[in-house]
Chains A and B, each alone.
Chain A
Amino acid sequence: MIKFTERQLKVPRFMRPVYLVTGGQSQYARAFPEKRTEELCIDALTMAAEFIGMSPAELKGYIHTCYYGHFADHFGDQLLGESVIHDRLGLDPLGNIGVKTGGATGGSTIWEAAKAVASGYSDCALAMGWERMDEVPTDEGNNYIACAADKDWETPLGHIYTGYYATMAQRYWQVFGKSQDSFRRTMAEISVKNHGYARWNPFAQSPMDITVEDVLKSPVVAYPLRVLDCCLMSVGAACVIVADEETAFKMCKNPLRLYIAAGSHSLRVADRRDMEIPLLPNETPDQYQDLDEVFPGGHRYPGFTGFLAARMCAWYAYRMAGVKDPTEDLDFVELHDAFTISDIQTYEDIGIRPYGRGRDYVESGDCYLVNPRTGKQGKLPANLSGGLIGCMHAVGATGIMQVVECALHIWNRHAEIHGNPKLWKSFGKQKPKNWVDVQVPNARRGLAISHAGVGSHVTCTILMHPDHLLKEE
């Protein structure tokens, strides 16, 4: 579809408010040769229970239905892997279902759990996600990932996802980035930032103290993308518990309001037809009229320069939650930085900057906790967890990890977890001597974007402290 009816553009509505009660995560690593997936999932659920002062058994006593995000069955050679985890968590005979939407699996899993609570079906639901990509050699893994493209029209072409994804990056690089060295450096700065923030996150897989030059010198994967422009490949698990108001306040003192919406676009990027840009509340119809003049080649929307699915999930979620301008209304974000360049594309898709102007979010310093240009607090810090580049991309868990990280900021308990030397030690690491607390001061509202590959599925989750809602109900 390239035109939508009013019915299709209905602002999504929960039948009753949905609250985030708690969340947890496992350690993330490229491989866990001596751990089964269920061990990681139990780590995550146990952390979620302890976080609200419950035993795992007490927490389980509240759960009514379970939503499991696990994308790549074939990597683990186990169909119905969700059922295995459900049993190992000891949650039978509760209803459960598996969710698979590529890189957006984590976000989609929360989407399902939230709707179960919103509808009244369940008063409390578990959303748990994980991924296991360490059981095959790299070339077989590349083939498996390429199977998430169209099997007749794309996969036989090299069996390599880069070939289907990176042509989008190329188009953005040349049209909106104008192939400029300055733009290339801005891309690199995102990697420096996210690997840098990962240093303070005990769960993170790839903490690095690097420079823009290091990124620019890293090996080319597919020009303009280099190794340090790309997200990690990870194993790990994360979970959240959502509940209705009454149950949520029984389970903990300060649950957070949760809104979530989803969008989609064709799996084959080939099928993306030219259309009008759906506008966010902070955009005007005339503002894109000269897009092709300023950025020659920028005429086709979304073409390969925008992600319609990301635009649409923000379109729905902002209206659902009352967000008028993300930079003004939100205090921080966790974005799906699969690649440095797609991170910039997301700034535009979700309205942090207008189309074509995404780089300014980095260049202004707004995306930092402390703006390196001004020394003051950044306007809208992004990916303080380290994101997919610095923390992890354990596909089914990623979107859930982001929401857990967001919640810790609003609860003002980020340092309690990330700064706990015992946690560092339990992961076989030592808490850095120069450890930095990246708690966002007075965090009230945060957003997380969960995005699948070429943009087939994207979800937008918005968390708010209940005293700081934007919309009357």
Chain B
Amino acid sequence: MNNQAKVWIEKGAYKIKGEFSTPEPNTPIRRKDGKLCGVTNPRRLVHMHSYGGEAPFFEGLAQGRLLGTQCVNNKCEYKGSIYIPFRIFCPDCLAKMKIVDLTAKARKTARIYSYVVTSRTGAFNTLETPIRFIDLEFEGVSTILKSYLLVGEPEIGQRVKPVFRVKPTYTITDLAWVTADTKKPPKGFHL
């Protein structure tokens, strides 16, 4: 893995280095009596994905901030609405929204709207199991953010606060939550 894929941008184009797609030999799939039914098709591959206008949100997590957006268009019927997940454009008027820092609001008002605990995961999962999925309401926010709880057992209505990954992965997993009375952040996260 020391030749791992690396990507950067120069003059508006992707520059890439390292291993991006690795073919592996296929093997036949046979019935017990020997009849050929198919083959395996293994491979490893890497996508290059742009966060576009949502990039500030993921950079924000790396800096310990929870950023949302707000419609500030005077002509919009829903001016003032606040969104997290961070939306680039207002869902009503399609005007570009203003970035707002919701970290303090989240610390003070985040509550669990719903949750589920599961030990099932898919390939490529990086979270420890069981995963405590939580959906969060914040005062004055129109939406219900999905994330996961690292300290405590979830309950509807429970107050929680955000924690951020110390070594960011620049994905949504950099944000997690702990019950509001938690003093010490979980390993690998800061308050």
Residues of A within 8 A of B (CB): 1, 3, 33-34, 77, 137, 139-146, 150-154, 156-164, 166-171, 174, 221-223, 268-274, 297, 303-304
Contact = CB atoms under 8 A, between A and B. Distances in A.
A162 B120 CA distance: 8
Closest 6 CB pairs of A and B: A159-B122, A142-B122, A143-B122, A171-B114, A222-B118, A163-B133
Contacts of B37: 33-34
B188 interface: no
Contacts of B76: none
B172 A33 contact: no
24 contacts: A77-B41, A139-B121, A139-B123, A142-B121, A143-B125, A146-B122, A150-B85, A154-B172, A156-B126, A158-B121, A158-B133, A160-B118, A160-B125, A163-B146, A167-B135, A171-B113, A171-B156, A221-B120, A222-B120, A269-B135, A270-B143, A271-B83, A271-B87, A297-B156
B117 interface: yes
A270 B114 contact: no
A86 B141 CA distance: 48
Contacts of B49: 151
Interface in B18-37: 29, 31, 37
A274 B115 contact: no
A38 B189 CA distance: 51
Nearest to A172: B114
B9 interface: no
Interface in B51-108: 51, 54, 58, 77, 81, 83-85, 87, 91-92
Contacts of B125: 143, 158-160
B152 to A, nearest CB: 16
Contact of A33 (B29, B113, B114, B121): B29
B146 A164 contact: yes
Given A153-B172, A271-B85, A272-B143, A159 B117 contact: no
A415 to B, nearest CB: 36
B182 interface: no
A140 B123 contact: yes
B91 to A, nearest CB: 7
A223 B117 contact: yes
A270 B145 contact: yes
Contact of B115 (A144, A170, A270, A297): A170
B146 A157 contact: yes
Interface in B158-191: 171-173
Given A139-B121, A142-B122, A156 B146 contact: no
Given A169-B116, A171-B156, A268 B123 contact: no
B145 A139 contact: no
Contacts of A160: 118, 120-122, 125, 131
B57 to A, nearest CB: 9
Given A143-B123, A162-B120, A170-B114, A270 B172 contact: no
Contacts of A137: 123
Interface string B130-141: 010111000000
A152 B115 CA distance: 19
